[in-house]
Every structure is written in structure tokens, then in C-alpha cells.
Structure 1
Amino acid sequence: MNDDKLWYRLDNAGKLYSSIISSRATTLFRLSATLTTPIDPVLLQSALESALERFPFFKVQLKQGFFWYYFEGTKQIPKVEEEIYYPCMSLSIKKRGSFPYRVYYFNNRISLELSHSMTDGTGGLKFLYELVKQYLHLKESVPLKRETISNTQLRLETENSFRKFYNKSIPAPRSRSGNVFKLPIQLDKKGYYHIVTGIISVEELKKRAKEYDVSITILLTAVYIQSLLKIQERTSRRKRPIVINVPVNMRSFFETNTMRNFFVSITPTIDARLGEYEFEEIIQEVKIEFSRLLTPKKLKQYIKRSVISEKFLVLRLMPSPIKDIVAPSIYSFFGEGQYTSGLSNLGIVSVPSEMEPFIERVECYPPPSIGNKVKAMLISYKQHVYISFGNLSKDRMLEREFFRNIRELGIEVTIETNDEES
């Protein structure tokens, strides 16, 4: 298989993300694993090269076509780097010779930062798992079963599942108006991305969620909305709806092996114009919304919307350099302009028993966004949930309010930040 002969059209989400990339909205999200010993960069480089043999789809670079970007195979190999900058920043994936992801190391931590133009959290986690598995084989002699990939398997792992499950006879869901509450905070200087991570016991969250008869995702979404309602009450005279962008992993509903983007976003909403809400009311509203939307029939409507968004004649016929100018404004208005903030749950990470003693924790950071200056992403590993806020502002009002409300539920939380002054 000649890597430099491979090329791939971007999936439906990837086409959008490749056009909105900027110095602030980098489209990069981070997945990381903290090990029990310091990282050996030489072994990590070898592990990366082995991982690329298993997942040749990652051995690509972004190229600009006349109408759309695409991925082209390359014989070049990305180099692991020691981490020195703020996360999820300072990577131009459109620059000649660059890759749509990078691998960092720092002390005991391996970090993988990926552009959403290439894959989503689930695809990224599979690649991170392969990378860590190869590294632990070299460093700790963890047994390794060699895998080869057939052309059929490569085709299945690189298919555009949006297209596969698209049904043109199904109506797309109605779009929301953009009159939503936005946090009253200012952007920090370019290149700064502030992370606040809360570490919470899985068992404590499960216990509290069970008392409300909901999942952990619904509980945390309700706390997120509650926090934003309280901030709006303090900072704004005019009440607006709180709308949360919650990505849904479509692989849970449709059978596919794709490593590419395959998610849609649902938008649980509380309309503050209707009056004050008790926490129990918020939980019930969110529970009903999740139950209503998380069905294959409803989710196919969101697939329809993802596919038809690229079919608008004005966009299809617009040269890609012009799209790069126009797309950020379109996305700001029709995309993140429709949301107050975003909350993504990557779920539970489990690894084989032979790897588990060497992996202390797993974390994820959301991609920076001008439209939603603060977003959060969470993941569970062993006995802890790690929920990380990514913030392009110096203001921590949402993070403080969220963790205050978590503690008011009787749940302990340990907080870490990448800000020296915090």
C-alpha cells in the first residue's frame, strides 16, 4: 500500500472545520494519557511510527482543492515534540508539510492534539490507544499482538458515515434562532488557552445521578445549565435562553467502524424568559430532551442536516479560498452563534489489564472557539471523571460557578489549572 497514493475527501464535518480554521479557532482538541514514568521521546517516536502503520489514514496532509480541501497520503512522518505552549494552539494544518494532528510529551504525559477536520473524539481515542499501546510495549515490555490492516478494513475505517446513513426523504430538523445568552467575557491575547480541570469520583457522580434517575451526562448537563442561569441572573437584565451544544457519538446508534467524524449535536435548552428554575426542573427538562432526541429516527434528521449543509449551491460553487473567508462568519451565525456553550462527554475509557498499571489518568480538552469562548469536555478513567474547561478568556466565572454547584450537590472535586496565577 503506497501511502503517498492515498487520498480522501473530507467528511461532512471535516469540510466545515477545514474552512473555519484560524489562530483562535484552531479546531484542535486534545486527548492525553498520563503514565507512571517519564516519557522517553525516542521510544515515543518509534511508537508513533508503528501506530501509523496500523492507521494509515493518519499518514495524511491537508491539501487545498479548487472547491474543497482533501487529505493526501504522504511518506513523511510527523515528529513528536516536547510541549512548551498552551494546548490546542499554534498549529497551522494548512501549512505545507504539516499534519492535521501532533503528538506532544511532557514529564509523564503523552498528548495527542487533532483537528476536527480529520476525526472526532472516538476516532482520536482509538489512535491514542494504539500509540500508548505501542509505547508501553517498547518501554515496559507489555505484550503486543501485531495487527495488519487490509484494504477492506481501511475502506471501512475511512468511510464517510454521514453519507452512508443519509436518507434524502427524511426532513432536517428546524434551526434555532440565534437569540441566546452569551457569557459577558472578553477574549484574551492570541495564543492563550486556559484550562481548568475538575477531578471527580465516578461513584459519587453515579450515586447522585441515580437519586435523580438520570445518567451522569444528564446530571452534568443540568449543572452546566444551572451555572449559566445563575451567571445570567447576576450579569444580564434581559433574560435569554440557555442552549448547550452536546455532541452525540453516532456510533452508539448506527453500526460503523469509521475513524472519521461521525457525531451530531443536540441542544438541550432552558428558556430563562419563562421564569426561575429549580435544579430538579432543569434535570427533568434535560432528561426529556435527551429521551426525545436520542433515537435513530431523530438522529437521522441531524445526519440529513449535516449532509445538506454542503449542498447549498452558493457553497458548492464557491472556490475554497473564498470559502475560507466566508465560512467563519456563516459558522459563527448558523453554528456556534446558536449556542451558549458546549459540553462533550467522551465516555468511559478502559484498557487491557496488562496496560492499566502503567496509565494513571486520561484527559481531554475541547477545541477553542470564538463563538463559545468557554466549553467543557469530560472523560472517565478508572474511578475518576476528568472534566476540563477550555477558555479563551481570562475570566473564570463559569468554571467557578460550575464546580461550586457540584460541591453543593455533596460531591467532592479536586481542581487543577494550567494558569500559574490561579
Structure 2
Amino acid sequence: MEDDQLWYRLDNAGKLYSSIISSRATTLFRVSATLTSTIDSGFLQAALESTLERFPFYKVQLKQGFFWYYFEGTDQIPQVAEEVYYPCMSLSIKKRGSFPFRVLYFNKRISLELSHSITDGTGALNFIRELVTNYLHLKESVPLQKGQVSDEQLRLETENSFRRHYEKDIPVSTSQVGKSFKIPIDLDKKGHYYITTGIMNLESLKQKAKEYDTSITILLTAVYMQTLLKIQESTMHRKQPIVINVPVNMRSFFESETMRNFFVSITPSIDARLGEYEFEEIIEELKIEFRRLLTRKKLKQYIKRSVVGEESLGLRLMPTPMKNIIAPSLYSFFGEGKYTSGLSNLGLVQVPSEMEEFIERFEFYPPPSIGNKVKAMVISYKEHINISFGNLSKNRMVEREFFRRIRALEIDVSIETNDEEN
């Protein structure tokens, strides 16, 4: 099939993200790989073109239909570019000729920024692994291990897995998140997005999680909740629940090879109005909540809610221009307005052994949003685990308090930031 003949609808998550895009809520998130030598832009461009041959359904542009946006194939070629400013900003994927992603390079780092309208963290990770593999083949003569990709495999990679696993008779979850604590910080100027990354030893964090009989994700979520409880106590007179949005990769529970979005978000919470919480209490609360929600039966309800969401919000038959006006407010009220912040763990990145010596680390940056000015993402590679906070404000009280508590757990952490004043 020719590139300009490719056409497909957005998945259920993509429909929402395409309608809420703005100069601040860009919907862009980043996965980057830092290599051991300076990036050659010519090899990187060639690697990108090879990657798009493997994943032709990413060689698309966003088009506006009467009721919804859709992706349409193009014979245009996206160009890699040197990174010059803040991450995850200044890309309008609705602009004519734009792609829903871009590839940037700086010094030894290759960065892939994608709109959530086209994929999630797992899709992005698969894309950048292919990109880095092709680059290292050209630059370092790392051998390729590729076979022919069948039409059936491409179909599986482009399917809407929400629809595939949707069950009409499953009741939608009735659990409602009420009003939550909002971090009291002010937005900085448009176009500014600050990243603070903490780098820790993965084995040390595993051992600490083992001491509390829990997972790394729950341990970090508990530290984040403890951080936000402390900030609320020191800045607010009236206490409110702390609610964290935790994305769940549905491929871990349901058969799917899609390279599109296939995640849902659970929202564990701690109600500060009930009294003070010890760290161990927070962990126990989270263990109960994660165990209760992370089952196929409960997650089917989240799939149902995702599929019927546009109907329940009255968006299905609304023309696209009107959706663009109304959807951001609805998302703010029914989506991010319901929780305090977000924390996503992409997990451990694994690459073929012949590539490991050429890759120093991976990083994972959250998409900026006005509803949650601060969010965090976690990724691991070899012996290190990185947690990166994205912040639309110049205020660093969240990051400082979080890493202070990490050190209080006797875990060494080194910190990097793109904010020259902090």
C-alpha cells in the first residue's frame, strides 16, 4: 500500500488527545536514548526513514474530519532536527505538513517526541528501539536481525485494541474521584517546560521495595503521595484527598500487539481529611488499591468507559470544531481536574546484547498539561532507574521534597535539570 493511500481512525484515547491540544497542553511526551558518541544527523535521518519503512502507519499526518480527526498517509518525509529549546513543546501536529511525532538530537542524545494522539509509552519505546537499532547499524555496524513483516503483523500493530477487547454488557465502573488537592504553583511563560531527573541504582530501589514487601511502582507512588501530603500540610489550611493518575499498560493483561494507544489510568488516593498517614500506611493502602483494580474484570470496565466515553460526554455527534472548543474544558473537569498529579512507570528497557555497549541510558518525559502542572515518569535501563518530573512552573518544591524523601530512605540519587536557575 502506498503511503498516501493509508488512512485510519484514531483510537479511543487518540480522539480525546487530538481535541485538547494547545500551546501548553501539547500532548507530546518524550522517550530518549543517550548513546556513547556524538549523534551523526545524516545516519539518524537514514535510520528514521528505515524505521518508518518498518512502521509505515507512523508516516501519517493528522486531518480534520467532520466529527473526528483521522490519520492520513503521506509521501512526505519527516526530517530530524537538532534540539534547541524546551522538550515536549512548540510542535503543532494540526499544522499542515506536520507529523504527530518528531526526532531530535543533541550531543549524544536521540529524542523521540510523540503526541498521545498516535501512541502511548509502549508504542514509543518500540519505535525508538527500532530507530536506535537502525542508527547503530549505520554508525557502529551493529548487525540487524530483521525478518519480513507480514500484512497480518502490520494489521495487529495498527488495531484499535480498545475496540477489540470491548464487551458491550460489561457495566461501566461507577467509582467517581471527587475533588482533589491541587499543587499551589503558578504557570511559567508559554513554551517553557522544566525537567528534573533523578538517577538511582535499580538494585538499591528493588531492595528497598522488597523491605516494604511491594513493587518499585508502589514504592515510588507512596513517596510521591507522602511528598504531596507534606506540601499540602505546609501550604493549605483545608485538607483534600491526594489522587495520583497511574497509567496501566493493558498489553500486560489483554492480548495485543498494537503500536497505538492501549492504556487506562487508575487513580489511587489518600484522603488527608482522615488524619495523618505513616509511610507504611500509605504503602499498605496502595497495595490494596492496586490489587483491587489490576484484574482483568476491573480493567474491562475501564475499557468500556474508554469506548463509551465520547457518548457519555455528549461528544459523539458534535462537529470537530465544536469539540476543539468544548473538549479541553471537559477533560479538565472530568479528567485531570480530578487528580493531583500523575506517575507513569514504563519499566525496564531491554535491547539486544550487541547494542548495550553503545547506549548509556534511556529517559522518559511526561506530556505537559495545565490541569496537572507537575507529573512524573519512570524508566529503567541496565543498572539505573530514572524518574523525570515535568513542570510548567518555575517552582521546584515538589521535586525537592520528593528527592529529599528518597534520600531519607537511604537511596542515593543524582539529580539533573534543564532549569539553569535551580
- The whole-number CA distance in structure 1 between the counterparts of 2:311 and 2:238 is 37
Is 1:58 aligned with 2:49? no
- The whole-number CA distance in structure 2 between the counterparts of 1:270 and 1:312 is 28
Deviation at 1:313, TM superposition (A): 7.5
What does residue 198 of structure 2 align with?
A: 198
Q: What amino acid is the match of 1:109?
A: R
What does residue 129 of structure 1 align with?
A: 129
What does residue 229 of structure 2 align with?
A: 229
What does residue 270 of structure 2 align with?
A: 270
Is 1:334 aligned with 2:361? no
- The whole-number CA distance in structure 2 between the counterparts of 1:149 and 1:391 is 40
What does residue 387 of structure 2 align with?
A: 387
Give the alignment of 1:168-183 within 5 angstroms.
168-183=168-183
What does residue 189 of structure 1 align with?
A: 189
Deviations 1:51-100 (A, max 9, x none): 00000011100000000000001111100000001000000000000000
- The whole-number CA distance in structure 2 between the counterparts of 1:381 and 1:183 is 30
- Root-mean-square deviation (CA, aligned residues, Å) is 0.8
Which of 366-375 and 145-154 deviates more?
145-154
- The whole-number CA distance in structure 2 between the counterparts of 1:241 and 1:147 is 51
What does residue 38 of structure 1 align with?
A: 38
What does residue 363 of structure 2 align with?
A: 363
Give the alignment of 1:3-22 within 5 angstroms.
3-22=3-22
Give unpaired runs (5+ residues) of structure 1.
none
User: Are the aligned partners of 2:24 and 2:369 in contact in 1 as well (CA < 8 Å)?
Assistant: yes
* Structure 1 residue matching 2:315: 3-state secondary structure: helix
Deviations 1:143-199 (A, max 9, x none): 012343222111100000000111111111124244110000000000000000000
* Structure 2 residue matching 1:324: 3-state secondary structure: helix
User: Are the aligned partners of 1:10 and 1:71 in contact in 2 as well (CA < 8 Å)?
Assistant: yes
Which of 187-196 and 150-159 deviates more?
150-159
User: Are the aligned partners of 2:31 and 2:125 in contact in 1 as well (CA < 8 Å)?
Assistant: yes
- The whole-number CA distance in structure 2 between the counterparts of 1:284 and 1:257 is 33
- The whole-number CA distance in structure 2 between the counterparts of 1:45 and 1:80 is 6
Is 1:212 aligned with 2:205? no
What does residue 250 of structure 1 align with?
A: 250
What does residue 156 of structure 1 align with?
A: 156
User: Are the aligned partners of 2:44 and 2:135 in contact in 1 as well (CA < 8 Å)?
Assistant: yes
Is 1:282 aligned with 2:282? yes
- The whole-number CA distance in structure 2 between the counterparts of 1:184 and 1:178 is 18
What does residue 375 of structure 1 align with?
A: 375
What does residue 104 of structure 1 align with?
A: 104
Is 1:296 aligned with 2:296? yes
* Structure 2 residue matching 1:309: 3-state secondary structure: helix
TM-score normalized by structure 2?
0.99
What does residue 407 of structure 1 align with?
A: 407
User: Are the aligned partners of 2:179 and 2:339 in contact in 1 as well (CA < 8 Å)?
Assistant: no
User: Are the aligned partners of 1:178 and 1:333 in contact in 2 as well (CA < 8 Å)?
Assistant: no
- The whole-number CA distance in structure 2 between the counterparts of 1:260 and 1:145 is 24
User: Are the aligned partners of 2:52 and 2:58 in contact in 1 as well (CA < 8 Å)?
Assistant: yes
- The whole-number CA distance in structure 1 between the counterparts of 2:323 and 2:418 is 35
* Structure 2 residue matching 1:335: 3-state secondary structure: helix
- The whole-number CA distance in structure 1 between the counterparts of 2:325 and 2:68 is 13
What does residue 241 of structure 2 align with?
A: 241
What does residue 260 of structure 2 align with?
A: 260
Residue 177 and residue 126 in structure 1: after superposition, are their counterparts in 2 closer, same or farther (change >3 A)?
closer
Deviation at 1:121, TM superposition (A): 0.2
Q: How many residues align?
A: 422
Deviations 1:315-341 (A, max 9, x none): 111110110000000000000001100
User: Are the aligned partners of 2:376 and 2:389 in contact in 1 as well (CA < 8 Å)?
Assistant: yes
What does residue 318 of structure 2 align with?
A: 318
- The whole-number CA distance in structure 1 between the counterparts of 2:128 and 2:147 is 16
User: Are the aligned partners of 1:12 and 1:162 in contact in 2 as well (CA < 8 Å)?
Assistant: yes
Deviation at 1:3, TM superposition (A): 1.1
User: Are the aligned partners of 1:156 and 1:258 in contact in 2 as well (CA < 8 Å)?
Assistant: yes
What does residue 74 of structure 1 align with?
A: 74
Give unpaired runs (5+ residues) of structure 2.
none
* Structure 2 residue matching 1:411: 3-state secondary structure: coil
Q: What amino acid is the match of 2:176?
A: R
* Structure 2 residue matching 1:198: 3-state secondary structure: strand
Q: What amino acid is the match of 2:243?
A: V
Task: List 4+ stretches of structure 1 deviating above 3 A.
Answer: none
User: Are the aligned partners of 1:54 and 1:148 in contact in 2 as well (CA < 8 Å)?
Assistant: no
- The whole-number CA distance in structure 2 between the counterparts of 1:230 and 1:276 is 10
Deviations 1:212-266 (A, max 9, x none): 0000000000000000000000000100000000000000000111000000000
- The whole-number CA distance in structure 2 between the counterparts of 1:403 and 1:304 is 37
- The whole-number CA distance in structure 2 between the counterparts of 1:313 and 1:113 is 29
Which of 139-148 and 408-417 deviates more?
139-148
What does residue 115 of structure 1 align with?
A: 115
Deviations 1:262-293 (A, max 9, x none): 00000110000000000000000001101111
TM-score normalized by structure 1?
0.99
- The whole-number CA distance in structure 1 between the counterparts of 2:147 and 2:28 is 28
User: Are the aligned partners of 2:346 and 2:378 in contact in 1 as well (CA < 8 Å)?
Assistant: yes
